[in-house]
Structure 1
Amino acid sequence: MKHLAALNTYFLKYKWRLILGLLFTAVSIVFSVFQPIMVRQIFDLLSHNLDEYRLLSDTGLKGAFRADFSRILAFYGVSILLFALLSGFFLFLQRQTLIVMSRHIEFDLKNAIYQHYQKLDLNFFKMHRTGDLMSRITEDVSRVRMYVGPAIMYASRTVFLIVIIVYLMLQVNPLLTLYTLSPLPFLALTIYYVNTIIHRKSEKIQSELSNITSIAQESYSGIRVIKSYVQEEASTAHFQEASETYKQSSISLAKTDALFQPVMALMIGLSVILTIFIGGMQVIAGNITVGNLAEFVIYVNMLMFPFLSIGMVASMIQRAAASQQRINEFLQITPVIADAPSATTASLEGGVHLDNVTFTYPHTGITALKEVNLRIAPGQKVAVIGRTGSGKSTLAQLLIRMYDPQQGSVMLDGHDVRNLRLESLRSQISYVPQDVFLFSDSIANNIRFGGPGADIQLVQQAARQASVEKDILGFNEGFETEIGERGVTLSGGQKQRISIARALLKNPDLLIFDDCLSAVDARTEKEIIGNLYAYLKNKTAIIITHRIFSLFEFDKIIVLDEGKIVEEGTHDELLSLNGYYSELYARQQSNEDDGVTE
């Protein structure tokens, strides 16, 4: 239960629903236990008046006696029906409060997990698979809901019913009560043993379910690769193997669960037999009446469902505990990248200063940047060029504080980014990542993601500046075209340009383009560069690229190699060095002369 203690805050939030639900449960049980009491009174009434009825068989009072007795039986019958209706009504109210409460908690818990996911840093998502994250917010939360709703409801009903019925049984005959309840200690030991097994198997099953979800998610996302390499059978076999493991574990858990029902039924059956046998002897001895015996038999049958539900409730609790443990593992992770207690907001103009920055990726141990020093004045246009793995994208991610350097500091307009509020920092920077991501929505809304609430004229203007408006207008529904998951219906170049339009719509003073023109042709590239040159006139721009934009006049060009700045200067200055930049430029010019573009 220690893992489920995290849910106490939700019980406190919905305490009135919980209290009312428990109250309705108690009232429902009180009305239900009146029924065996009235059955006892009917049996005792029959027993007491049977001999008297026989004595009146030869007199004229027989008819009147029968009529009076019939009215009494009718009264009891109507009373039993009324109590049953009242018990059912409060049972309905019980479900309306406790089950509805569980849905509210489910809603709050899913939102809490989602919001926590949003706060976690980029390294967390690189270390965990998407399928596992999805499983915890769906399957695990659903199992937790079974605890905060049905399990609480059944458990409270069981406790109230056992307490009230055992009290009433003790009032009638303590010895008979002792014999009737004697199988229960064995029941408790069985429940404890089986629950331990269920908890262990539930944790294993949830982990395997996450694995299945991850495999499916990766297969759907990479379906083009699977098909192009004709790996459908291998992919199916991999999924079937994971499904088979999950199936076997689920069957094993189902077999364990199946122990509860027969064990409970056996214990209840023993209680009924003992009640009838010992109770019959007590009736013969004159210690109790026939009505008491009938009352006891009904009580034992009323206890049948509570005791049968013990197994079900225990199973729900064990599964919920396993799921809540998995949820807590994530909720208890503190994001490495977070607002400092003294974090402030600042208006940024685009000045960048990297002071002796060294950064190593935590999940790989690869040092991407080594003692990098860089100054960019507000309004400057800077190109960052280098081989794959030289640290270009890392530089961009440090500027928007996806990571923090292990050494040195990243400054924007004299402010250390670690002392700025993340919302303030990132809202003033447009970042076009290398791996473009588009949402399953309309083209307009994907561009509008850079400026929520922007009117269609601004969206169209941004698309025009990114040289993608003509492509969009060529679709049947224009800007309202649904692009499918991750923009699957678009070409690579169209996706890149829509991502650029999104960044331009944001209209900040600092823009970072991370190799965002790799999928466009030379003619479109020139058009985009021409548009960007005019747009970026008074803005700071950092353009990360693997090729040289000869038509774009950069104030400074940075050449990175193995995490270090090896060359820095203007285009002409770098050509005169006859280094990596000069070599890259010569190779690019040669390819263009031959009609080949990189």
Structure 2
Amino acid sequence: MFSIFLKMGWFFKENWQRYTLAILLLMVGSLLEILPPKIIGMSIDEMYLGTLTTDRLIGILLFFTALSFAIYAITYVWVSRLFGGAYLAERTLRAKLMSHFLRMTPTFFQRNRTGDLMARATNDLKAVSMTTGFGVMTIVETISYTAMILLTMFVFISWELTLMAILPLPIMAYAINRYGRKIHARFSLAQNAFGALNDQVLESVSGVRVIRAYVQETADQQRFQEMTDDVYQKNIAVARVDSLIEPTVKLLIGISYMIGILYGGYLVFQQKLTLGELVSFNVYLGMLIWPMFGIGELINVLQRGNASLDRVNETLGYQPDVQDAQETIAVEVPTEICYDRVTFRYPAARGEQLKDVSFTLQRGQTLGIVGRTGSGKTTLLRQLLREFPLGEGRITISGQPLEKIALDNVKRWIGYVPQEQILFSKTVRENVLFGRRDGTQEELLHTLQLASFDQDVQRLPDGLETLVGEKGVALSGGQKQRVSIARALMIDPEILILDDAMSAVDGKTEAEMLTSIRRERAGKTTLIATHRMFAVQHADWILVLDEGRVVQEGAHEQLMVQGGWYKEQYERQQAEERLNEGQVKP
């Protein structure tokens, strides 16, 4: 249960001054708070004996006033320091998680649901934050406050009465420990269920158009209701155990009170205890109620925080399956890209997605990659991006093994436009300048012209300042693709990768874009994967893939002479294009 403090030891070491000051002031405040009952008891005895004077009463009142201000000031400081530390812990862990997410490869996100990751970055961190704030406060206050009160009762009032009154406390400790173990197990299940619910909500919101198109609103709502019920039931299971803590504490504290009154009254009649001391004792006993409740709350908070921190640490424990070599090789410019008999299989797949693929691409050349759906075009490109561990064979850049070149170095060379267009919920300007924040207005407009988006910008409500919405929902498919291409062109990469990046763009616009890109990128390397043959007809070299193998390769003219799949597809697509333009009569 208390292992959470060991797991968070790195944080407490970094912020030891903050927590040391808070704990010391908390203990001083606890010490000051036990003085009033003793003074009240002494005052009652003086009143009973008739020795309480006016000056003495005024002195007591002034002392209480000064004590109240002192406690107020001390409490303000330790609360701000301690709970400020709790927010700092949450912020630090959230930053760690975000940094970790950004370093992870696709394998990590295939194994972990997005909704569950969101739950760990929000609800779980909040539970950990509670432990580093409220949990620390409760454990220090409970131990110091309880120890001081019991010591005062034991030494200054009656050790016999104190021992009798605390007899129920061991029973309380045992019961609360049992409750705590159950809370830990049940809270872990509840958080896992909440993560699954988060994921379901994310899928439903993202896929709302498809859900409506297939008239599945009722089915999706039913599925959501079932998951909500599951989360509810698991949280109710936590609440059932949690609700036992307070009645247990109240019952045992009540027994302590009863013992204190009955046995204390007996000691007063035996003249072993004064009336004032009995009053003081019962006030102290009342002051023990909060620490006893605090123990219950502490167990609850610690077990929740422990379960949540385990989930967070589980996520942080994942190591990227693609990392830099221990000794990296510096390569300034990618003068050559070479695939030598590359074979690759995805970690979760059975068959091989690439089989014995070889080619060499010099700087300034363009490589076209075509083939049927699922032939391995994207997989070939992703090897260069190092999204997955390299398979068999050898990939080199400028003669150096790809795995020996620093990942950041490789990423700086590449401008990547994937099949799935990802735009951020920002303006058109911010999306295009995403990889190069210092780009000038002239460079921005020139890039938009290269991507054939300059005319579209003029038709947008706020031009470059138009918000594209979440995932670019305010733009059409073709517009999203062109903004994505502009974003890649803006960084003027040494290697431009277009992975079926113009599938939603009409043929005429695509031809204009490719001509502009080819002219602008003279002397730099480009790789284009596509289903449209005319998009690669001007490429220096073309690979035709089928089931992960290169079945044809060569320049456009060579492939047309060879015949086969490439020629068939090119002629068919050309005929379709002419038909669409009305040049061929049906």
Q: Where in structure 2 are the equivalents of 1:580-595 lying within 5 Å?
A: 580-595=565-580
**Alpha-carbon deviation of 1:119?**
1.0
Structure 2 residue 521 is the aligned partner of structure 1 residue 546: no
Deviates more, 1:363-372 or 1:155-164: 363-372
User: Cα 1:169–1:3, aligned 2, differ >3 Å: closer, same or farther?
Assistant: closer
Output one character per residue of 1:70-125: Cα deviation in whole Å (capped at 9) or x when no partner: 33223223323332332232122221110011111111110011101111111111
185, 206, 223: which is aligned to 1:221?
A: 206
User: Cα 1:134–1:271, aligned 2, differ >3 Å: closer, same or farther?
Assistant: same
**Alpha-carbon deviation of 1:551?**
7.8
Q: Aligned letter for 1:206?
A: Q
Output one character per residue of 1:398-439: Cα deviation in whole Å (capped at 9) or x when no partner: 112112222122211112221111111111111111111000
**Alpha-carbon deviation of 1:365?**
3.2
Root mean square deviation, CA, Å? 1.6
Structure 2 residue 68 is the aligned partner of structure 1 residue 84: yes
The corresponding residue for 2:25 is 24
* CA distance in 1: counterparts of 2:508 and 2:361, whole angstroms: 30
Alpha-carbon contact 1:199-1:319 (below 8 Å) kept:
yes
Deviates more, 1:282-291 or 1:154-163: 282-291
Output one character per residue of 1:294-350: Cα deviation in whole Å (capped at 9) or x when no partner: 111011111101101111111111111111011011111111112222124321234
394, 402, 410: which is aligned to 1:417?
A: 402
**Alpha-carbon deviation of 1:15?**
0.4
The corresponding residue for 2:345 is 360
Structure 2 residue 334 is the aligned partner of structure 1 residue 349: yes
**Alpha-carbon deviation of 1:353?**
0.5
* CA distance in 2: counterparts of 1:26 and 1:438, whole angstroms: 53
Q: Aligned letter for 2:7?
A: A
Deviates more, 1:228-237 or 1:562-571: 228-237
Alpha-carbon contact 1:529-1:552 (below 8 Å) kept:
no
Output one character per residue of 1:348-368: Cα deviation in whole Å (capped at 9) or x when no partner: 234111122111111233421
Q: Where in structure 2 are the equivalents of 1:31-50 lying within 5 Å?
A: 31-49=32-50
Alpha-carbon contact 1:509-1:540 (below 8 Å) kept:
yes
* CA distance in 1: counterparts of 2:6 and 2:422, whole angstroms: 39
Q: Aligned letter for 1:96?
A: S
The corresponding residue for 1:159 is 143
Q: Counterpart of 2:461 in 1: which secondary structure?
A: coil
The corresponding residue for 1:436 is 421
* CA distance in 2: counterparts of 1:314 and 1:344, whole angstroms: 53
Structure 2 residue 554 is the aligned partner of structure 1 residue 569: yes
* CA distance in 2: counterparts of 1:125 and 1:3, whole angstroms: 27
* CA distance in 2: counterparts of 1:419 and 1:579, whole angstroms: 38
Q: Counterpart of 1:92 in 2: which secondary structure?
A: helix
161, 181, 192: which is aligned to 1:176?
A: 161
Q: Which blocks of at least 5 consecutive residues in structure 1 are unaligned?
A: 50-64
**Alpha-carbon deviation of 1:204?**
0.7
Q: Aligned letter for 1:7?
A: M
**Alpha-carbon deviation of 1:531?**
0.9
* CA distance in 2: counterparts of 1:431 and 1:531, whole angstroms: 18
Alpha-carbon contact 2:138-2:298 (below 8 Å) kept:
yes
* CA distance in 1: counterparts of 2:3 and 2:336, whole angstroms: 51
Q: Aligned letter for 2:36?
A: Q
User: Cα 1:459–1:394, aligned 2, differ >3 Å: closer, same or farther?
Assistant: same
Alpha-carbon contact 1:339-1:422 (below 8 Å) kept:
yes
Structure 2 residue 86 is the aligned partner of structure 1 residue 102: yes
Q: Counterpart of 1:138 in 2: which secondary structure?
A: helix
* CA distance in 2: counterparts of 1:216 and 1:495, whole angstroms: 25
The corresponding residue for 1:120 is 104
* CA distance in 2: counterparts of 1:551 and 1:108, whole angstroms: 48
Alpha-carbon contact 1:31-1:84 (below 8 Å) kept:
no
The corresponding residue for 2:301 is 316
The corresponding residue for 1:272 is 257
Q: Tell me the matched-pair count.
A: 580
Alpha-carbon contact 1:533-1:552 (below 8 Å) kept:
no
Q: Which blocks of at least 5 consecutive residues in structure 2 are unaligned?
A: none
* CA distance in 2: counterparts of 1:84 and 1:400, whole angstroms: 65
Output one character per residue of 1:238-288: Cα deviation in whole Å (capped at 9) or x when no partner: 111111111121122112111111111111111111111111111222222
Q: Aligned letter for 1:510?
A: I
User: Cα 1:221–1:350, aligned 2, differ >3 Å: closer, same or farther?
Assistant: farther
Deviates more, 1:499-508 or 1:531-540: 531-540
The corresponding residue for 1:93 is 77
* CA distance in 1: counterparts of 2:338 and 2:444, whole angstroms: 32
Q: Aligned letter for 1:80?
A: F
Q: Aligned letter for 1:71?
A: D
Alpha-carbon contact 2:536-2:542 (below 8 Å) kept:
no
Q: Where in structure 2 are the equivalents of 1:454-533 lying within 5 Å?
A: 454-533=439-518
* CA distance in 2: counterparts of 1:391 and 1:405, whole angstroms: 15
Q: Where in structure 2 are the equivalents of 1:225-236 lying within 5 Å?
A: 225-236=210-221
* CA distance in 1: counterparts of 2:518 and 2:158, whole angstroms: 96
* CA distance in 2: counterparts of 1:145 and 1:450, whole angstroms: 34
The corresponding residue for 1:7 is 8
Output one character per residue of 1:351-395: Cα deviation in whole Å (capped at 9) or x when no partner: 111122111111233421112112111111110011111111011
**Alpha-carbon deviation of 1:216?**
0.8
Instruction: Give TM-score scaled by structure 1 length.
Output: 0.94
Alpha-carbon contact 1:34-1:83 (below 8 Å) kept:
no
* CA distance in 1: counterparts of 2:330 and 2:37, whole angstroms: 71
* CA distance in 1: counterparts of 2:6 and 2:552, whole angstroms: 58
User: Cα 1:551–1:253, aligned 2, differ >3 Å: closer, same or farther?
Assistant: closer
How many percent identity over aligned positions? 33
